[in-house]
Amino acid sequence: MTQTLPTAAVLGARAFAALAGLNRFSDEPGKLTRLYLSPAHRQAAEWTRGAMEVAGLSAHIDAAGSVQGRREGAKPGAPSVMIGSHIDTVKDGGRFDGNLGVVAGILVAQALRDAGIVLPFPLEVVAFGDEENVRFPTSLSTSRALAGEYRQEWLDGRDTDGITLRDALLGFGCDPLGIPALARPPASVAAYLELHIEQGPVLEAEDEPVGIVTAINAQKRARVRVTGEAGHAGTVPMRLRRDALAAAAEMALALEEIASAHDQAVGTVGVFRPDPGATNVVPGAVDFTIDFRCPRNDTLASMDRAIATRFAEIAERRGVSLAISPYSHDDATPMAEPLQEALAAGIARTGANLKARRLPSGAGHDAMAMARLCPAAMLFVRNEKGISHSPLEAMTEADAGIAIRVMLETVLELARRAA
Amino acid sequence: MTQTLPTAAVLGARAFAALAGLNRFSDEPGKLTRLYLSPAHRQAAEWTRGAMEVAGLSAHIDAAGSVQGRREGAKPGAPSVMIGSHIDTVKDGGRFDGNLGVVAGILVAQALRDAGIVLPFPLEVVAFGDEENVRFPTSLSTSRALAGEYRQEWLDGRDTDGITLRDALLGFGCDPLGIPALARPPASVAAYLELHIEQGPVLEAEDEPVGIVTAINAQKRARVRVTGEAGHAGTVPMRLRRDALAAAAEMALALEEIASAHDQAVGTVGVFRPDPGATNVVPGAVDFTIDFRCPRNDTLASMDRAIATRFAEIAERRGVSLAISPYSHDDATPMAEPLQEALAAGIARTGANLKARRLPSGAGHDAMAMARLCPAAMLFVRNEKGISHSPLEAMTEADAGIAIRVMLETVLELARRAA
């Protein structure tokens, strides 16, 4: 049956051609900027609907602005397999982030239709519109609409021009009152699969074109304030100092050490502001942020305890005071094991002698929202430079082709299991 | 002969009363702000001249705005002993910094005159006006005028209102053309003595009212730039990071360790700016400053080498690049040993069972400039909280009295030596 399917090379070429079409729509000339419900988003949604229809899907733009395509299977009304990602971007973003996942879904549907394959389940392809959450104060609102977790208060949120989400939806041609009805009934979706460019350098470093996501990481963020005593840089002897910067520097290194010692964890100090911040003054205080993530909630809790203990020990020894104020905490979203296995089978069936490399996702995705509704899994594609949210984001056509071929084989694997 | 001299308690009371008089002159109501050549400086200079004249000195305001007082000794024209400090302040400064040293000189002259003591040398008291170098881009210009190291280009420097130093001098009633003639002939001054509040916490920590300055520290400053690679805080694994902030934190701790390991040295990171400085981005670069000081030039050079070696080792190990750009380097100014001994004798002769605690000065003083002309030495007075350049600067009346009594005894010790 697979003899009639397009090769990875063909799929790669089709994907790059499709991306060239889709990515002509931008809110800023010379850059790829496509914010939720913008004119460029509207054009991209129409393009996506057209592509879906030509690929054999029936398609519409839903009440939240997502493009939904569907092709019925052998058993109408059976739980569907859904392939999705997003077509909104950050400002001056990359070409692959989100867009490639949508194109992949369309190309998989097209290949199956062209090969005359009737699946035992409906195949859906969805292009979400609000994954980057750049324009409005929302959180994955378009995929949460399908998952039944839309928050009505989002509609009153405003963009920087003062336009509410409600008005922006109306302007886009959507009916905000129709959003609650987008919620899919439990068990109506059997699997959500998302192909996405890796937003880091792991696959590039290990020379693997694709990887299977194990979980979307648990994450905690906190603001930390260390208060010592300001002093003259020339006149306060070292032994009499309570140098807030030295204490905070030691804490930054402790976080690095703790993250390195926990499985698949990361830890980052990104903001670091000494007060007063003058060459000839021993800093009296430092404000800094910590951000730490890992695939398991219990590992995150262990890191949290280690950080509290080590920071307190450093503060005590140096005679400075310490305040840790957490302001964000997300549990891990494990990806469904059976779908990870299906992706691994899909990888094996490409015959390309690829490893089924497993890795966590350090960034959020629509799959986080969909995992509340149904089993969900993700396939990462190698990012040539590991750079994300930037026009420097890069991928080879060959890798895109391999990844889409894996998605195709994975859908066929699920069909085999359903049969 | 000392029976007729005022006690430390009397000298302390006289000093605090005199400071209350002198410190009524401020450019900002409710604060003590007295910038060089300001209206408050002019009033303070007139007050100082009056105080000097009543204390038996002949006095005048010189071409650079300093107040010079002099009383001839037994041998007219013999090399003088000069007691000096400054009456300018920083913005919102403390009451003792500079002012106490000038008042001390006046009270010493008054006590000697009142006791009918004729010294074998002329006694001079000088109130310099440009020690803090807040208003114009100068460096100890009023004391350097006496030392013969005045730079003519300073006259073209401007304050933030665009007024040149030349015009400010003319407005003050000074003749800028007369400044070169202020330079004292070599060997015309036998000793320069300066009493100054300590600008740090050493004497307070050791419960000593006074200390003898061994040297004004050598000092070096540099800007450091560490460049690694920016990355997503969630998606770049720890082992693939080149985190500029972690590298810079390790360098800050290395500087602290190096300073602690060198005799009487200090080292400070005061400025620390990560780029981009966002919670969810691994910093790609950090700019920070280093400031390190110690009493000996060879120790400073050793620190400099240790810093270069350690920073390079850290950069190499972490795969980041490093640029150290020195922008300021001052040699140490050792204080004259015989004058340090005279101060120690003066301390012993107070009979108060005080230690002759030796300590370096981490900040600059007019004594740096005067040391280019003649033997110079300084006496530090305990700072109750170790706080400088702030209205919180504090000293007890008792300590002020002890310190002025030490100055008086030191002048008498020099008289004994000269006899």
Q: What does the pLDDT look like over B210-263, one tens digit per residue?
A: 999 999 999 999 999 999 999 999 999 999 999 999 999 999 999 999 999 998
Tens of pLDDT, residues A267-305:
999 999 999 998 889 999 999 999 999 999 999 999 999
pLDDT at B351: 82
Q: Report cis status (omega within 30 of 0) of the bond before A276.
A: yes
- Chain A interface includes B202 (CB < 8 A): yes
pLDDT at B69 over 60: yes
| Interchain pair A264, B234: CB under 8 A | no
Of the partner residues A200, A236, A265, the one whose CB lies closest to the CB of residue B200: A236
Of B221, B236, B344, B342, the closest CA to residue B284 belongs to B236
Tens of pLDDT, residues A22-70:
999 999 999 999 999 999 999 999 999 999 999 999 999 999 999 999 9
In a 3-state reduction of DSSP, which class is residue B235? coil
Cβ pairs bridging A and B (under 8 Å): 201
* Distance in angstroms (rounded) separating the CA atoms of residues B59 and B102: 13
Question: Does B2 or A109 have the greater pLDDT score?
Answer: A109
CB A88 within 8 A of CB A41: yes
Average pLDDT of chain B, as a whole number: 96
**Of all helices (H) and strands (E), which one includes residue A226?**
strand A218-227
Q: Which residues of A touch B318 (CB under 8 A)?
A: none
* CB interface of A with B, residues 128-147, below 8 Å: none
pLDDT at B1: 45
Q: Which residues of B touch A237 (CB under 8 A)?
A: 200-202, 264, 266
| Interchain pair B238, A250: CB under 8 A | no
* Residue B233 per-residue DSSP state: T
User: Which class is domain B218-330?
Assistant: alpha beta
What are the CA-CA distances from residue B80 to residues B77, B114, B123, B418 (Å)?
A: 8, 20, 6, 11
Q: In this structure, what are the phi and psi dihedrals at residue B86, rounded to the nearest 5 degrees?
A: -130, 155
Tens of pLDDT, residues A226-262:
999 999 999 999 999 999 999 999 999 999 999 999 9
Residue of B nearest to A286 (CA): B272
pLDDT at B88: 97
| Interchain pair A270, B291: CB under 8 A | no
CB A379 within 8 A of CB A213: yes
Min Cα separation B242/chain A (Å): 12
Q: What is the ipTM of this complex?
A: 0.86
The pTM of the full predicted model, rounded to 2 decimals, is 0.86
Paired sense of beta strands A189-197 and A80-86, if any? parallel
Of A229, A230, A237, the closest CA to residue B360 belongs to A237
**Of all helices (H) and strands (E), which one includes residue B16?**
helix B8-22
pLDDT at A2: 46
Q: How confident is the model at residue B40 (pLDDT cuts 50, 70, 90)?
A: very high
Residue of B nearest to A224 (CA): B279
pLDDT at A76: 81
Paired sense of beta strands A321-330 and A272-275, if any? unpaired
| Interchain pair B235, A272: CB under 8 A | no
Question: SS3 letters for A282-307?
Answer: ECCEEEEEEEEEECCHHHHHHHHHHH
pLDDT at B328: 87
Percent of chain A beyond pLDDT 90?
93
Min Cα separation B315/chain A (Å): 15
**DSSP string spanning B288-339?**
EEEEEEES-HHHHHHHHHHHHHHHHHHHHHHT-EEEEEEEEEE--EEPPHHH
| Interchain pair B252, A249: CB under 8 A | yes
Domain at B2-216+332-418, CATH homologous superfamily: Zn peptidases (3.40.630.10)
Average pLDDT of chain A, as a whole number: 96
Q: What's the burial of A118, exposed, middle or buried (CB within 10 Å: 0-12/13-18/19+)?
A: exposed
In a 3-state reduction of DSSP, which class is residue A417? helix
Q: Which residues of B touch A239 (CB under 8 A)?
A: 260
* Cβ-based neighbours of B164, under 8 Å, separated by 6 or more: B155, B156, B157, B158
The mean pLDDT value for B148-155 works out to: 97
The mean pLDDT value for A340-366 works out to: 93
Instruction: Copy the structure tokens of residue A227.
Output: 């208060």
Of the partner residues A253, A293, A386, the one whose CB lies closest to the CB of residue B231: A386
pLDDT at A1 over 60: no
* Cβ-based neighbours of A393, under 8 Å, separated by 6 or more: A93, A94, A95, A96, A97, A197, A383, A385, A387
Please report the sign of the dihedral spanned by the C-alpha atoms of residue A238, residue A239, residue A241, residue A243: positive
Of the partner residues A233, A268, A272, the one whose CB lies closest to the CB of residue B282: A268
pLDDT at A164 over 80: yes
The angle formed by the CA atoms of residues A260, A262 and A264, to the nearest 5 degrees, is 85
* Cβ-based neighbours of A82, under 8 Å, separated by 6 or more: A123, A124, A125, A126, A189, A191, A192, A193, A370, A374
| Interchain pair A271, B270: CB under 8 A | no
* Distance in angstroms (rounded) separating the CA atoms of residues B366 and B123: 18
Of A85, A193, A117, A80, the closest CA to residue A412 belongs to A117
pLDDT at A352: 79
The mean pLDDT value for B380-397 works out to: 94
pLDDT at B77 over 90: no
Instruction: Copy the structure tokens of residue A211.
Output: 């990887």
* CB interface of A with B, residues 252-271, below 8 Å: 252-253, 256, 259-260, 264-271
Tens of pLDDT, residues A136-152:
999 899 999 999 999 99
pLDDT at B181 over 70: yes
Phi/psi zone of residue B331: left (φ > 0), alpha (ψ -120 to 50 degrees), beta? beta
Paired sense of beta strands B321-330 and B218-227, if any? antiparallel
pLDDT at B109 over 90: yes
**DSSP string spanning A137-190?**
S-SSHHHHHHHT---GGGGG-B-TTS-BHHHHHHHHT--GGGSGGGPPPTTSEE
The mean pLDDT value for A150-175 works out to: 97
Q: How confident is the model at residue B322 (pLDDT cuts 50, 70, 90)?
A: very high
Q: How confident is the model at residue A353 (pLDDT cuts 50, 70, 90)?
A: confident
Instruction: Copy the structure tokens of residue A398.
Output: 């060959």
Question: Which of A232, A359, A361 to substitute to test the interface with B, most B CBs within 10 Å?
Answer: A232
Percent of chain B beyond pLDDT 70?
99
Any idea where the domains of chain B sit in the sequence? 2-216+332-418, 218-330
Q: How confident is the model at residue B4 (pLDDT cuts 50, 70, 90)?
A: confident
Residue of A nearest to B286 (CA): A272
Cα distance between the two ends of chain A: 15
Of the partner residues B200, B249, B253, the one whose CB lies closest to the CB of residue A235: B200
